[in-house]
Copies of this chain bind each other. A is one copy, B any other.
């Protein structure tokens, strides 16, 4: 039996629980946890979107510098992911040091990639627009780093092992089992 929600807060699920890195003018990095991270243009060019509250320090940094990195996370990182999303970087906290994460140099942008995250997506801002209570930031992908065992023979991403962290209406979940690949039902 279905009912209509009184409170329609954030109805689309699941999403990534991603860590977004940015830097200030002196190069000091910050991290924010975002669930609103998504593919928009898939192939040519590759453009990602994030939706972020204008009040956040990361919003200020990304708007100022025009660069950010989307770092995908795994279940084993769930505590660090939650902590990065619980405090603002505005007061000078070093979230890398505080929460045990390791910054590594990116290839094309100033914000670092996070070593512990298996996939790191370097982005340059292509546009910022206000959409309701969030700003929608579109970013062109400059490079994607991935762990060796997440790369297929053609050099593409193959997240074919479990481990990715999933965000579902305020909760963190682990991925369970693989059920099939695109087209499997038609091929049967």
Contact = CB atoms under 8 A, between A and B. Distances in A.
A50 to B, nearest CB: 9
A182 B175 contact: no
Residue among A9, A35, A87, A169 with max Cβ neighbours from chain B (10 Å): A169
Nearest to A142: B8
Nearest to A156: B7
Chain multiplicity (copies): 2
Interface in A146-177: 146-148, 151, 154-160, 162, 164-166, 168-177
Nearest to A117: B2
Question: In which size bucket is the chain A interface?
Answer: 35 or more
Interface stretch (A21-29, A55-63, A71-79): A71-79
A127 to B, nearest CB: 8
A176 to B, nearest CB: 3
A67 interface: no
A32 interface: no
Contacts of A7: 154-157
Interface of A: 1-16, 18, 35-49, 51, 70, 72, 75, 78-80, 82-83, 85-87, 107, 119-121, 131-134, 136, 138, 141, 143-148, 151, 154-160, 162, 164-166, 168-186
